[in-house]
Structure 1
Amino acid sequence: MPQIEETQPKCLQIAHHIRDQILRGDLRPGDEVPSERQLAADWNVSRPTAARSLEALSHQGLVEKRQGSGTYVRGLAVNRRARELYGRAKQTGKIYTPGEYAVITSAGWLEAPDYVAEALSLAAGSRAVHRQRVTKNESGPITISTSWFGADVGEQAPKLCDPDRIQEGTLMYVESVTGRQGSYAEDRMCARLATEDEAADLELEPGAAVLIVHHVVYDLQDRPLEFAEATYPPGRWAFEQGYPIS
Protein backbone atom coordinates (compact mmCIF):
# COMPACT_ATOMS: atom_id res chain seq x y z
CA MET A 1 0.00 0.00 0.00
CA PRO A 2 1.44 3.45 -0.88
CA GLN A 3 2.65 5.60 1.99
CA ILE A 4 0.82 8.77 2.98
CA GLU A 5 2.71 11.92 1.97
CA GLU A 6 2.45 15.26 3.74
CA THR A 7 2.07 17.36 0.56
CA GLN A 8 -1.61 16.54 0.06
CA PRO A 9 -4.59 15.82 2.34
CA LYS A 10 -4.64 12.17 3.33
CA CYS A 11 -8.21 11.64 2.18
CA LEU A 12 -7.38 12.91 -1.32
CA GLN A 13 -4.29 10.70 -1.59
CA ILE A 14 -6.41 7.65 -0.81
CA ALA A 15 -9.17 8.77 -3.20
CA HIS A 16 -6.65 9.37 -6.00
CA HIS A 17 -5.13 5.92 -5.49
CA ILE A 18 -8.54 4.25 -5.86
CA ARG A 19 -9.49 6.57 -8.73
CA ASP A 20 -6.36 5.54 -10.62
CA GLN A 21 -7.25 1.87 -10.10
CA ILE A 22 -10.68 2.56 -11.59
CA LEU A 23 -9.39 4.52 -14.58
CA ARG A 24 -6.75 1.85 -15.33
CA GLY A 25 -9.42 -0.85 -15.22
CA ASP A 26 -7.98 -2.62 -12.17
CA LEU A 27 -11.35 -1.95 -10.54
CA ARG A 28 -14.22 -2.39 -12.99
CA PRO A 29 -17.89 -1.31 -12.91
CA GLY A 30 -19.67 -3.33 -10.26
CA ASP A 31 -16.53 -4.13 -8.24
CA GLU A 32 -16.63 -3.32 -4.55
CA VAL A 33 -14.04 -0.84 -3.27
CA PRO A 34 -12.50 -1.18 0.20
CA SER A 35 -14.72 -0.20 3.11
CA GLU A 36 -14.02 2.67 5.50
CA ARG A 37 -12.74 0.14 8.05
CA GLN A 38 -10.43 -1.51 5.52
CA LEU A 39 -9.08 1.80 4.22
CA ALA A 40 -8.42 3.02 7.74
CA ALA A 41 -6.44 -0.13 8.49
CA ASP A 42 -4.55 -0.28 5.17
CA TRP A 43 -3.54 3.38 5.19
CA ASN A 44 -3.22 3.83 8.97
CA VAL A 45 -5.70 6.71 9.04
CA SER A 46 -8.84 7.47 11.03
CA ARG A 47 -12.30 6.26 9.99
CA PRO A 48 -13.48 9.84 9.26
CA THR A 49 -10.51 10.32 6.90
CA ALA A 50 -11.35 7.06 5.14
CA ALA A 51 -14.99 8.15 4.89
CA ARG A 52 -13.98 11.46 3.28
CA SER A 53 -11.97 9.49 0.69
CA LEU A 54 -15.07 7.55 -0.34
CA GLU A 55 -17.11 10.75 -0.36
CA ALA A 56 -14.57 12.34 -2.75
CA LEU A 57 -14.85 9.37 -5.09
CA SER A 58 -18.64 9.59 -4.95
CA HIS A 59 -18.50 13.33 -5.73
CA GLN A 60 -16.37 12.52 -8.78
CA GLY A 61 -19.06 10.10 -9.95
CA LEU A 62 -16.75 7.10 -9.75
CA VAL A 63 -18.45 5.08 -7.01
CA GLU A 64 -21.88 4.64 -5.45
CA LYS A 65 -22.79 3.57 -1.94
CA ARG A 66 -25.41 0.83 -1.62
CA GLN A 67 -27.27 0.84 1.64
CA GLY A 68 -26.37 -2.13 3.81
CA SER A 69 -23.97 -3.53 1.20
CA GLY A 70 -20.90 -1.41 0.49
CA THR A 71 -19.40 1.00 -2.03
CA TYR A 72 -19.12 -0.05 -5.68
CA VAL A 73 -17.55 1.25 -8.88
CA ARG A 74 -20.12 2.92 -11.11
CA GLY A 75 -20.51 2.30 -14.82
CA LEU A 76 -18.63 5.16 -16.47
CA ALA A 77 -20.00 7.10 -19.43
CA VAL A 78 -16.89 8.71 -20.90
CA ASN A 79 -16.59 11.51 -23.43
CA ARG A 80 -14.30 9.54 -25.73
CA ARG A 81 -13.32 12.50 -27.89
CA ALA A 82 -12.15 14.57 -24.91
CA ARG A 83 -10.16 11.64 -23.55
CA GLU A 84 -8.58 10.85 -26.93
CA LEU A 85 -7.62 14.47 -27.57
CA TYR A 86 -5.89 14.76 -24.21
CA GLY A 87 -4.15 11.41 -24.61
CA ARG A 88 -2.91 12.34 -28.09
CA ALA A 89 -1.53 15.65 -26.82
CA LYS A 90 0.35 13.84 -24.04
CA GLN A 91 1.87 11.33 -26.48
CA THR A 92 2.60 13.43 -29.57
CA GLY A 93 2.52 17.07 -28.48
CA LYS A 94 -0.27 17.70 -31.00
CA ILE A 95 -3.96 17.62 -30.22
CA TYR A 96 -5.45 17.00 -33.67
CA THR A 97 -5.05 14.15 -36.13
CA PRO A 98 -3.97 14.81 -39.75
CA GLY A 99 -6.84 16.45 -41.61
CA GLU A 100 -8.33 18.04 -38.51
CA TYR A 101 -7.88 21.70 -37.71
CA ALA A 102 -9.41 24.33 -35.45
CA VAL A 103 -10.40 27.91 -36.17
CA ILE A 104 -10.30 30.15 -33.10
CA THR A 105 -13.41 32.32 -33.37
CA SER A 106 -13.11 34.23 -30.08
CA ALA A 107 -10.53 34.62 -27.30
CA GLY A 108 -10.07 36.97 -24.36
CA TRP A 109 -11.58 38.16 -21.08
CA LEU A 110 -15.32 38.14 -20.45
CA GLU A 111 -17.65 38.11 -17.47
CA ALA A 112 -18.19 34.42 -16.81
CA PRO A 113 -21.79 33.23 -17.29
CA ASP A 114 -23.33 31.99 -14.06
CA TYR A 115 -23.00 28.29 -14.98
CA VAL A 116 -19.31 28.78 -15.86
CA ALA A 117 -18.61 30.67 -12.62
CA GLU A 118 -20.29 27.90 -10.64
CA ALA A 119 -18.29 25.17 -12.41
CA LEU A 120 -14.99 26.99 -11.78
CA SER A 121 -15.91 27.95 -8.19
CA LEU A 122 -15.77 31.67 -9.05
CA ALA A 123 -17.81 34.45 -7.50
CA ALA A 124 -20.80 35.56 -9.56
CA GLY A 125 -19.82 38.26 -12.03
CA SER A 126 -16.13 37.29 -12.05
CA ARG A 127 -14.07 37.84 -15.17
CA ALA A 128 -12.62 34.77 -16.84
CA VAL A 129 -10.62 33.90 -19.94
CA HIS A 130 -12.36 32.06 -22.75
CA ARG A 131 -11.24 30.45 -26.01
CA GLN A 132 -13.86 29.42 -28.55
CA ARG A 133 -13.01 27.26 -31.53
CA VAL A 134 -14.70 25.41 -34.36
CA THR A 135 -12.98 22.12 -35.15
CA LYS A 136 -13.28 20.76 -38.68
CA ASN A 137 -12.02 18.09 -41.04
CA GLU A 138 -12.63 17.30 -44.71
CA SER A 139 -16.22 16.28 -43.90
CA GLY A 140 -17.07 19.61 -42.30
CA PRO A 141 -17.48 20.91 -38.73
CA ILE A 142 -16.91 18.42 -35.93
CA THR A 143 -17.70 20.53 -32.90
CA ILE A 144 -17.84 24.00 -31.40
CA SER A 145 -16.05 24.21 -28.07
CA THR A 146 -15.37 26.99 -25.58
CA SER A 147 -12.79 26.63 -22.81
CA TRP A 148 -13.00 28.84 -19.72
CA PHE A 149 -10.35 29.52 -17.09
CA GLY A 150 -10.35 31.59 -13.91
CA ALA A 151 -8.42 34.85 -13.61
CA ASP A 152 -5.52 33.22 -11.76
CA VAL A 153 -4.91 30.93 -14.74
CA GLY A 154 -5.52 33.69 -17.30
CA GLU A 155 -2.88 35.92 -15.74
CA GLN A 156 -0.26 33.16 -15.97
CA ALA A 157 -1.21 31.96 -19.45
CA PRO A 158 -1.22 34.93 -21.88
CA LYS A 159 -1.55 32.71 -24.99
CA LEU A 160 -5.14 32.01 -23.97
CA CYS A 161 -6.07 35.48 -25.25
CA ASP A 162 -4.18 34.99 -28.52
CA PRO A 163 -6.33 33.96 -31.52
CA ASP A 164 -3.51 31.78 -32.87
CA ARG A 165 -3.72 28.02 -32.27
CA ILE A 166 -1.90 26.47 -29.34
CA GLN A 167 -0.29 23.45 -30.94
CA GLU A 168 -0.03 21.24 -27.86
CA GLY A 169 -3.61 21.98 -26.87
CA THR A 170 -5.06 24.48 -24.45
CA LEU A 171 -5.00 22.29 -21.35
CA MET A 172 -1.44 21.06 -21.94
CA TYR A 173 -0.31 24.67 -22.32
CA VAL A 174 -2.07 25.71 -19.11
CA GLU A 175 -0.50 22.83 -17.22
CA SER A 176 2.97 23.78 -18.45
CA VAL A 177 2.78 27.46 -17.43
CA THR A 178 0.83 27.11 -14.17
CA GLY A 179 2.29 23.88 -12.81
CA ARG A 180 -1.22 22.60 -12.11
CA GLN A 181 -1.75 19.08 -13.43
CA GLY A 182 -5.10 17.85 -14.70
CA SER A 183 -6.14 14.84 -12.63
CA TYR A 184 -9.65 13.80 -13.63
CA ALA A 185 -12.66 15.18 -15.46
CA GLU A 186 -16.42 15.13 -15.17
CA ASP A 187 -18.81 15.32 -18.12
CA ARG A 188 -22.48 16.27 -18.14
CA MET A 189 -24.48 15.88 -21.33
CA CYS A 190 -27.82 16.96 -22.69
CA ALA A 191 -29.46 17.44 -26.09
CA ARG A 192 -31.21 20.60 -27.26
CA LEU A 193 -31.89 22.64 -30.38
CA ALA A 194 -28.99 24.57 -31.85
CA THR A 195 -28.91 28.33 -31.46
CA GLU A 196 -28.77 30.44 -34.61
CA ASP A 197 -25.01 30.97 -34.22
CA GLU A 198 -24.36 27.29 -33.52
CA ALA A 199 -26.37 26.23 -36.57
CA ALA A 200 -24.35 28.61 -38.75
CA ASP A 201 -20.97 27.47 -37.38
CA LEU A 202 -21.86 23.79 -37.67
CA GLU A 203 -23.50 24.20 -41.09
CA LEU A 204 -26.84 22.88 -39.84
CA GLU A 205 -30.42 23.67 -40.68
CA PRO A 206 -32.07 26.07 -38.20
CA GLY A 207 -33.54 24.19 -35.25
CA ALA A 208 -31.36 21.08 -35.68
CA ALA A 209 -30.69 18.98 -32.59
CA VAL A 210 -27.21 19.16 -31.03
CA LEU A 211 -25.51 17.42 -28.15
CA ILE A 212 -24.07 19.64 -25.40
CA VAL A 213 -21.21 18.43 -23.21
CA HIS A 214 -20.04 20.32 -20.13
CA HIS A 215 -16.53 19.12 -19.33
CA VAL A 216 -14.81 20.10 -16.05
CA VAL A 217 -11.14 19.24 -15.48
CA TYR A 218 -9.92 19.08 -11.87
CA ASP A 219 -6.31 19.31 -10.71
CA LEU A 220 -4.48 17.13 -8.20
CA GLN A 221 -5.93 19.17 -5.32
CA ASP A 222 -9.49 18.64 -6.66
CA ARG A 223 -9.74 22.30 -7.71
CA PRO A 224 -11.53 23.03 -11.01
CA LEU A 225 -8.93 23.96 -13.62
CA GLU A 226 -10.87 24.20 -16.88
CA PHE A 227 -14.53 24.34 -17.83
CA ALA A 228 -15.31 23.49 -21.44
CA GLU A 229 -18.62 23.54 -23.27
CA ALA A 230 -18.77 21.54 -26.51
CA THR A 231 -21.57 21.45 -29.06
CA TYR A 232 -21.74 18.38 -31.33
CA PRO A 233 -23.83 18.16 -34.50
CA PRO A 234 -25.79 15.01 -35.38
CA GLY A 235 -23.50 12.21 -36.55
CA ARG A 236 -20.47 13.53 -34.64
CA TRP A 237 -21.29 12.14 -31.22
CA ALA A 238 -18.67 9.76 -29.81
CA PHE A 239 -19.39 8.28 -26.40
CA GLU A 240 -18.84 4.85 -24.91
CA GLN A 241 -19.86 2.96 -21.80
CA GLY A 242 -18.81 -0.39 -20.43
CA TYR A 243 -20.76 -2.41 -17.87
CA PRO A 244 -21.22 -6.03 -16.76
CA ILE A 245 -24.21 -7.95 -18.17
CA SER A 246 -24.30 -10.80 -15.68
Structure 2
Amino acid sequence: MAYEVEAPKYVRLAQTIQSRIEDGTYAPGTRVPSENQLVQAFGMSRPTVVRALELLKRDGWLESRQGYGTIVRGRPALVEHKDRRGSEALARDESQAFGRLVEVVHVPVPARVASVLGLPKRAKVLMRRFLAEEDGEPVELVSSYFPAGLVEGTELESSAPLGGSTRAHLEARKKVRFDHVTERVSARLPERSEAELLDLPDGVPVLSVLVVAYDASGQALQVSDVLLPADRQELEDTYRLN
Protein backbone atom coordinates (compact mmCIF):
# COMPACT_ATOMS: atom_id res chain seq x y z
CA MET A 1 0.00 0.00 0.00
CA ALA A 2 1.44 3.38 -0.98
CA TYR A 3 1.38 6.26 1.45
CA GLU A 4 2.91 9.70 1.66
CA VAL A 5 5.52 10.39 4.33
CA GLU A 6 4.96 13.68 6.13
CA ALA A 7 7.92 16.04 5.98
CA PRO A 8 9.79 16.83 9.25
CA LYS A 9 8.52 19.75 11.31
CA TYR A 10 11.40 22.06 10.41
CA VAL A 11 10.80 21.47 6.69
CA ARG A 12 7.07 22.25 7.05
CA LEU A 13 7.91 25.44 8.97
CA ALA A 14 10.45 26.47 6.31
CA GLN A 15 7.80 25.92 3.63
CA THR A 16 5.33 28.12 5.55
CA ILE A 17 7.86 30.95 5.91
CA GLN A 18 8.78 30.54 2.24
CA SER A 19 5.09 30.92 1.29
CA ARG A 20 4.85 34.11 3.33
CA ILE A 21 7.87 35.51 1.52
CA GLU A 22 6.30 34.70 -1.83
CA ASP A 23 2.94 36.29 -0.95
CA GLY A 24 4.61 39.45 0.40
CA THR A 25 3.86 38.93 4.09
CA TYR A 26 7.62 38.98 4.68
CA ALA A 27 8.87 41.49 2.11
CA PRO A 28 12.43 41.45 0.70
CA GLY A 29 14.77 43.64 2.75
CA THR A 30 12.73 43.34 5.95
CA ARG A 31 13.61 41.37 9.04
CA VAL A 32 11.85 38.09 9.70
CA PRO A 33 10.27 37.64 13.15
CA SER A 34 12.71 36.68 15.90
CA GLU A 35 13.20 33.08 16.98
CA ASN A 36 11.08 33.73 20.08
CA GLN A 37 8.30 35.23 17.98
CA LEU A 38 8.34 32.27 15.58
CA VAL A 39 8.30 29.80 18.49
CA GLN A 40 5.19 31.50 19.89
CA ALA A 41 3.49 32.03 16.53
CA PHE A 42 3.83 28.46 15.30
CA GLY A 43 3.92 26.56 18.59
CA MET A 44 7.18 24.83 17.69
CA SER A 45 10.36 24.37 19.68
CA ARG A 46 13.40 26.60 19.30
CA PRO A 47 15.53 23.80 17.72
CA THR A 48 12.84 23.34 15.05
CA VAL A 49 12.72 27.09 14.35
CA VAL A 50 16.53 27.37 14.19
CA ARG A 51 16.80 24.45 11.78
CA ALA A 52 14.04 25.91 9.53
CA LEU A 53 15.83 29.27 9.37
CA GLU A 54 19.15 27.57 8.58
CA LEU A 55 17.48 25.69 5.72
CA LEU A 56 16.05 28.93 4.27
CA LYS A 57 19.43 30.64 4.55
CA ARG A 58 21.14 27.75 2.82
CA ASP A 59 18.66 27.89 -0.05
CA GLY A 60 18.97 31.66 -0.45
CA TRP A 61 15.61 32.87 0.88
CA LEU A 62 17.13 34.54 3.96
CA GLU A 63 20.49 35.94 5.02
CA SER A 64 22.07 37.03 8.30
CA ARG A 65 23.50 40.54 8.57
CA GLN A 66 25.68 41.40 11.53
CA GLY A 67 24.00 43.88 13.82
CA TYR A 68 20.72 43.68 11.96
CA GLY A 69 19.46 40.11 12.24
CA THR A 70 17.96 37.79 9.67
CA ILE A 71 16.50 39.52 6.63
CA VAL A 72 14.44 38.40 3.66
CA ARG A 73 16.22 38.14 0.32
CA GLY A 74 13.18 37.04 -1.66
CA ARG A 75 12.73 34.18 -4.05
CA PRO A 76 16.11 32.92 -5.34
CA ALA A 77 16.63 33.01 -9.09
CA LEU A 78 17.02 29.24 -8.99
CA VAL A 79 15.58 27.23 -6.12
CA GLU A 80 17.41 24.04 -5.42
CA HIS A 81 16.20 22.16 -2.35
CA LYS A 82 18.65 19.40 -1.63
CA ASP A 83 18.89 17.31 1.49
CA ARG A 84 22.66 17.15 1.51
CA ARG A 85 23.06 14.76 4.43
CA GLY A 86 26.76 14.45 3.73
CA SER A 87 27.60 18.11 4.19
CA GLU A 88 25.40 18.24 7.30
CA ALA A 89 27.20 15.25 8.83
CA LEU A 90 30.63 16.72 8.06
CA ALA A 91 29.71 20.17 9.40
CA ARG A 92 27.92 19.09 12.60
CA ASP A 93 29.36 20.55 15.81
CA GLU A 94 28.72 17.82 18.40
CA SER A 95 28.99 20.28 21.28
CA GLN A 96 26.28 22.53 19.83
CA ALA A 97 24.05 20.17 17.86
CA PHE A 98 20.72 18.95 19.16
CA GLY A 99 21.26 15.35 20.20
CA ARG A 100 23.95 13.34 21.96
CA LEU A 101 27.18 11.52 21.33
CA VAL A 102 26.25 7.86 21.87
CA GLU A 103 29.62 6.12 21.73
CA VAL A 104 33.22 6.38 20.61
CA VAL A 105 34.81 2.99 20.06
CA HIS A 106 37.24 1.05 17.87
CA VAL A 107 35.33 -1.53 15.81
CA PRO A 108 36.04 -4.00 13.00
CA VAL A 109 35.51 -2.08 9.78
CA PRO A 110 32.11 -2.79 8.14
CA ALA A 111 32.48 -4.39 4.72
CA ARG A 112 31.22 -1.49 2.61
CA VAL A 113 33.25 1.01 4.66
CA ALA A 114 36.38 -1.11 4.21
CA SER A 115 35.98 -1.04 0.44
CA VAL A 116 35.96 2.76 0.20
CA LEU A 117 38.71 3.27 2.80
CA GLY A 118 40.89 0.67 1.08
CA LEU A 119 41.26 -1.37 4.26
CA PRO A 120 41.48 -5.16 4.63
CA LYS A 121 38.71 -7.13 6.30
CA ARG A 122 38.86 -7.19 10.12
CA ALA A 123 40.93 -4.02 10.24
CA LYS A 124 39.98 -1.76 13.15
CA VAL A 125 38.62 1.75 12.65
CA LEU A 126 37.39 4.40 15.04
CA MET A 127 33.64 4.93 15.10
CA ARG A 128 31.96 8.05 16.50
CA ARG A 129 28.19 7.61 16.75
CA PHE A 130 25.90 10.63 17.17
CA LEU A 131 22.13 10.58 17.65
CA ALA A 132 20.45 13.72 16.29
CA GLU A 133 17.17 14.70 17.93
CA GLU A 134 14.33 17.09 17.17
CA ASP A 135 11.85 18.07 19.88
CA GLY A 136 13.32 15.28 22.02
CA GLU A 137 12.69 12.61 19.38
CA PRO A 138 15.47 10.77 17.49
CA VAL A 139 15.54 11.69 13.81
CA GLU A 140 18.96 10.60 12.58
CA LEU A 141 21.74 8.25 13.66
CA VAL A 142 25.19 9.04 12.27
CA SER A 143 28.04 6.54 12.57
CA SER A 144 31.31 8.06 11.33
CA TYR A 145 34.35 5.90 10.65
CA PHE A 146 37.99 7.02 10.60
CA PRO A 147 41.11 4.99 9.66
CA ALA A 148 43.63 4.57 12.49
CA GLY A 149 46.34 6.59 10.75
CA LEU A 150 44.06 9.62 10.58
CA VAL A 151 43.07 9.42 14.24
CA GLU A 152 46.58 9.78 15.72
CA GLY A 153 47.26 13.27 17.04
CA THR A 154 43.58 14.24 17.14
CA GLU A 155 40.82 14.33 19.75
CA LEU A 156 38.58 11.98 17.81
CA GLU A 157 39.04 9.22 20.39
CA SER A 158 37.71 11.44 23.17
CA SER A 159 34.29 10.45 24.52
CA ALA A 160 33.44 14.13 24.98
CA PRO A 161 31.49 15.94 22.26
CA LEU A 162 33.86 17.46 19.74
CA GLY A 163 33.93 21.26 19.61
CA GLY A 164 33.55 22.13 15.93
CA SER A 165 33.06 19.71 13.08
CA THR A 166 35.09 16.57 12.41
CA ARG A 167 36.06 18.08 9.07
CA ALA A 168 37.44 21.27 10.64
CA HIS A 169 39.20 19.25 13.34
CA LEU A 170 40.94 16.95 10.87
CA GLU A 171 41.90 19.76 8.52
CA ALA A 172 43.46 21.65 11.43
CA ARG A 173 45.19 18.73 13.14
CA LYS A 174 46.21 16.52 10.22
CA LYS A 175 46.64 19.19 7.53
CA VAL A 176 44.37 17.30 5.16
CA ARG A 177 41.81 19.01 2.95
CA PHE A 178 38.33 17.71 2.26
CA ASP A 179 37.52 18.18 -1.41
CA HIS A 180 34.34 16.32 -2.43
CA VAL A 181 31.68 13.94 -1.18
CA THR A 182 29.70 11.07 -2.62
CA GLU A 183 26.42 9.82 -1.16
CA ARG A 184 24.97 6.35 -1.72
CA VAL A 185 21.38 5.79 -0.62
CA SER A 186 19.96 2.36 0.15
CA ALA A 187 17.24 0.86 2.34
CA ARG A 188 17.65 -1.87 4.92
CA LEU A 189 16.36 -3.15 8.22
CA PRO A 190 18.28 -1.65 11.16
CA GLU A 191 20.39 -3.64 13.57
CA ARG A 192 18.86 -4.09 17.01
CA SER A 193 21.05 -1.38 18.61
CA GLU A 194 20.21 1.05 15.78
CA ALA A 195 16.48 0.38 16.10
CA GLU A 196 16.62 0.96 19.86
CA LEU A 197 18.42 4.29 19.48
CA LEU A 198 16.02 5.47 16.77
CA ASP A 199 13.03 4.16 18.76
CA LEU A 200 11.80 2.07 15.82
CA PRO A 201 9.21 -0.71 16.07
CA ASP A 202 10.11 -4.12 14.66
CA GLY A 203 10.02 -4.31 10.90
CA VAL A 204 10.41 -0.58 10.18
CA PRO A 205 13.24 -0.03 7.69
CA VAL A 206 15.78 2.78 7.57
CA LEU A 207 17.25 4.79 4.73
CA SER A 208 21.02 4.53 4.82
CA VAL A 209 22.98 7.38 3.27
CA LEU A 210 26.61 6.31 3.02
CA VAL A 211 28.62 9.53 2.92
CA VAL A 212 32.22 9.28 1.72
CA ALA A 213 34.44 12.38 2.02
CA TYR A 214 37.55 12.50 -0.16
CA ASP A 215 40.57 14.73 -0.62
CA ALA A 216 41.47 16.09 -4.06
CA SER A 217 43.52 12.97 -4.90
CA GLY A 218 40.55 10.68 -4.31
CA GLN A 219 41.73 9.34 -0.95
CA ALA A 220 38.78 8.67 1.39
CA LEU A 221 39.19 10.53 4.69
CA GLN A 222 35.93 9.83 6.49
CA VAL A 223 32.91 7.60 5.96
CA SER A 224 29.61 8.36 7.68
CA ASP A 225 26.59 6.06 7.66
CA VAL A 226 23.55 8.32 8.15
CA LEU A 227 20.44 6.35 9.14
CA LEU A 228 16.99 7.92 8.72
CA PRO A 229 13.77 6.26 9.91
CA ALA A 230 11.95 5.51 6.67
CA ASP A 231 8.57 6.25 8.26
CA ARG A 232 9.56 9.77 9.37
CA GLN A 233 11.88 11.20 6.73
CA GLU A 234 11.93 11.93 3.04
CA LEU A 235 14.66 12.86 0.59
CA GLU A 236 13.82 15.57 -1.94
CA ASP A 237 15.69 17.22 -4.80
CA THR A 238 14.42 20.01 -7.06
CA TYR A 239 16.46 20.91 -10.12
CA ARG A 240 16.16 22.74 -13.42
CA LEU A 241 15.97 20.75 -16.66
CA ASN A 242 18.41 21.73 -19.40
Q: Which category of TM-score, normalised to the shorter sequence, fits these structures?
A: 0.5 to 0.7
Q: What secondary structure is seen at the aligned counterpart in 1 of 2:180?
A: strand
TM-fit CA distance, 1:241: 4.5
- Cα offset for 1:228? 0.8
Counterpart residue type for residue 192 of structure 2: E
Stretch of structure 1 that moved more, 233-242 or 143-152: 233-242
Quote how far apart the aligned CAs of 1:121 are. Answer: 1.1
Written as runs of structure 1 = structure 2, the 5 A alignment for 1:124-143 is 124-143=121-140
Which residue of 1 is the match for residue 86 of structure 2? 82
Task: Give the alignment of 1:110-149 within 5 angstroms.
Answer: 110-149=107-146
SS in 1 for 2:171: helix
1:33-182 to structure 2, matched below 5 A, reads 79-84=83-88, 86=90, 89=91, 95=93, 100-157=97-154, 159-182=155-178
SS at match of 2:176: coil
Measure, in 2, the Cα distance between the counterparts of 1:113 and 1:85.
19
Q: 1:224 and 2:234 equivalent?
A: no
Aligned length: 162
Q: RMSD value over aligned CA atoms?
A: 2.6
- Flag the structure with higher helix content: 1
After the TM superposition, which segments of 4 or more aligned residues of structure 1 sit over 3 Å from their partners?
76-79, 94-98
CA distance in 2, matches of 1:80, 1:137: 18
How far does residue 85 in structure 1 lie from its aligned partner after superposition?
Answer: 5.3
Partner of 1:156: helix, strand, or coil?
A: coil
For residues 131 and 142 of structure 1, the distance between their equivalents in structure 2, rounded to whole angstroms, comes to 17
Aligned equivalent of 1:183: 179
Q: 1:120 to 1:210 in 2, by over 3 A?
A: same
Task: Give per-residue Cα distances to partners, 1:56-113, cap 9 Å, x unaligned.
Answer: xxxxxxxxxxxxxxxxxxxx99652332455xx4xxxx63797x42322221322212
In the alignment, is the contact (CA less than 8 A) between 2:127 and 2:145 conserved in 1?
Answer: yes
5+ long unaligned stretches in structure 2: 1-79
TM-score by length of 1: 0.59
CA distance in 2: counterparts of 1:197 and 1:180, whole angstroms: 33
Unaligned runs of 5+ in 1: 1-75
Q: Amino acid of the residue matched to residue 209 of structure 1? A: P
Query: For residues 203-240 of structure 1, what are the alpha-carbon distances to aligned partners after superposition, in whole Å with 9 as ceiling and x for unaligned?
Result: 12111121111110001221100011111013233442
| Aligned-residue offset at 1:129 | 1.2
The aligned amino acid for 1:82 is: G
**CA 1:215 to 1:78, structure 2 compared with 1: closer, same or farther past 3 Å?**
farther
Secondary structure of the corresponding residue to residue 205 of structure 1: coil
2:203 to 204, 207, 216: 207
Q: TM-score, normalised by structure 2?
A: 0.60
Q: Distance in 2 between matches of 1:128 and 1:97?
A: 23
Q: CA deviation at 1:243?
A: 4.4
Query: Could you say what secondary structure the match of 2:169 adopts?
Result: helix
Structure 2 counterpart of 1:198, which letter?
Answer: E
When residues 213 and 163 of structure 1 are mapped into structure 2, their CA distance, relative to the original with a 3 A threshold, is same
User: Larger relative contact order (C-alpha < 8 A, sep ≥ 6)?
Assistant: 2
| Cα distance in 2, alignment partners of residues 150 and 208 from structure 1 | 31
Report the Cα distance in structure 1 between the residues aligned to 2:141 and 2:89, rounded to whole angstroms: 14
Identical amino acids, percent of aligned pairs: 22
Equivalent position amino acid for 1:83 in 2:
S
